[in-house]
Amino acid sequence: MTGNRASVHGMFSIMALPTTPRDHANGVRTPGRAAGSNVTNRFEPYTRERVDDGWDRDDDFPVLRTEVQDERPRKIITPNTSPDISFDRSINPYRGCEHGCIYCFARPSHAYLGLSPGLDFETRLVARPDAPEVLRAELSAKSYSPAPIAIGTNTDPYQPIENDRRIMRGILEVLSDFDHPVAITTKGTLIERDIDLLAPMAEKGLVRVGISVTTLDPKLCRLLEPRGPAPARRLATIRRLSEAGICVRIMVSPVIPALTDHELEALVAAGADAGAQAASSIVLRLPREVAPLFREWLATHMPDRAERVMGRVRELHGGRDYDPEWGQRMRGQGPWAELMRARFDLALRRHGLDQRLPALRTDLFGQPPRLGDQLALF
């Protein structure tokens, strides 16, 4: 365990955000956190509930700080067989994500660690410092066949701890050495640090980046994604990447009905103005423990429209909080889903973002020469 934010790894300090009434129920103060509780994960046989006996004072409660534990993986490339996803392999440098997006569909993955998808997901992180070395070994195997690797599809590789850990940086260095294609998804502006690696890879057709922008409203963004960059800052990142020759798309995800869906056209326009070459969109999905966490968040921050939002969510998912059916879990179903798709497609055509992007190249892949190797004469 590396400890809290004051550890030797140089973590960030806690952001000065206002506390909320839920702090008292948790027995800790949670500035800058989206989840309102540590909901029991689905594998636990017991639930725990804190009861206020009237003796505690608010100023007695400690601030909930981030802890990071190291994991030594034997393999780092994770295969994927989902029929509605375009990639068949991915890498996750971190487990858990300090951006703390309340809607994050990856929250349930923390249950496999015996942790809560709630506050634990945002505050008890796992880093994989050996990932670059493990990746190098996997790519060097004679049986390995190259195909684009997706990074950032579960938790964000450019979340705040990457600033000091530099695990994603190391992974990119390995992929660059092997001329291996990669597709990156992030809302972290720290990706700008790695333009020196990404730009040469982009010139070879080896990299594509998606920047997630959920809303243009900075106040709403702070509530939904408390430790993620502000919307304007993410758009600036799109511009910087685009100017460096890196293929970048704006990801209007998730679209939250009755909360952010009215911004669909404005988000596409903002992305196009910033230099995005494409755009994508996914409707809100609330698998497993995410649904009660999101309902709790609505009751705390949006009580006047909580019922309306959840009612529209259920319309999109066949009367349930979430429908896991392949092919429609990310698109939704029914009139509202069809209307949003039509609006999105029209916005893409209007701003010239409806063109199909070329596939990432795999023909350049090869093992880099090692010390002592005999180089080819021609």
All residues at 6 or more sequence positions from 373 whose CB lies less than 8 Å from its CB, including other chains: none
What is the structure's pLDDT at 56?
57
Q: Is residue 285 part of a domain?
A: yes
What is the structure's pLDDT at 55?
60
| DSSP-assigned states of every residue in 166-225 | -HHHHHHHHHHHHT--EEEEE--GGGGGGHHHHHHHHHTT-EEEEEE---S-HHHHHHHS
Q: Is residue 183 part of a domain?
A: yes
What is the structure's pLDDT at 36?
84
Q: Is residue 365 part of a domain?
A: no
Q: Which of 93, 198, 248 is nearest to 155 (CA)?
A: 93
Q: Is residue 245 part of a domain?
A: yes
CA-to-CA dists, residue 218 to 213, 283, 355, angstroms? 11, 20, 30
What is the structure's pLDDT at 17?
35
Residue pLDDT tens, the chain, 378 long: 343 433 333 332 323 333 344 444 456 678 789 888 888 878 877 666 665 656 655 556 678 899 999 999 999 999 998 887 889 999 999 999 999 999 999 999 999 999 999 999 999 999 999 999 999 999 999 999 999 999 999 999 999 999 999 999 999 999 999 999 999 999 999 999 999 999 999 999 999 999 999 999 999 999 999 999 999 999 999 999 999 999 999 999 999 999 999 999 999 999 999 999 999 999 999 999 999 999 999 999 999 999 999 999 999 999 999 888 887 888 899 999 999 999 999 999 999 999 889 999 999 999 998 766 655 555
Token pair 């997901």: residue:
121
What is the structure's pLDDT at 18?
35
CA-to-CA dists, residue 306 to 33, 100, 310, angstroms? 19, 20, 6
DSSP classification of residue 60: G
DSSP classification of residue 36: S
CA 191, 67, 69, 295 torsion-angle sign? negative
Dist. CA 114–CA 313, nearest whole Å = 29
What is the structure's pLDDT at 5?
39
What is the structure's pLDDT at 369?
81
Q: Is residue 257 part of a domain?
A: yes
Q: Is residue 235 part of a domain?
A: yes
Between helix 231-243 and helix 264-274 the angle, nearest 10°, is 40
Residues 289, 111 contacting (CB under 8 angstroms): yes
- Domain CATH number, residue 152: 3.20.20
Identity at 346, one-letter amino acid code: L
Residues 94, 128 contacting (CB under 8 angstroms): yes
What is the structure's pLDDT at 373?
61
**Residue 281 lies in domain:** 22-48+58-350
Dist. CA 175–CA 169, nearest whole Å = 10
The number of domains in the chain is 1
Q: Is residue 42 part of a domain?
A: yes
Identity at 117, one-letter amino acid code: P
Backbone angles phi, psi at 14, to 5 degrees: -70, 135
Q: Is residue 212 part of a domain?
A: yes
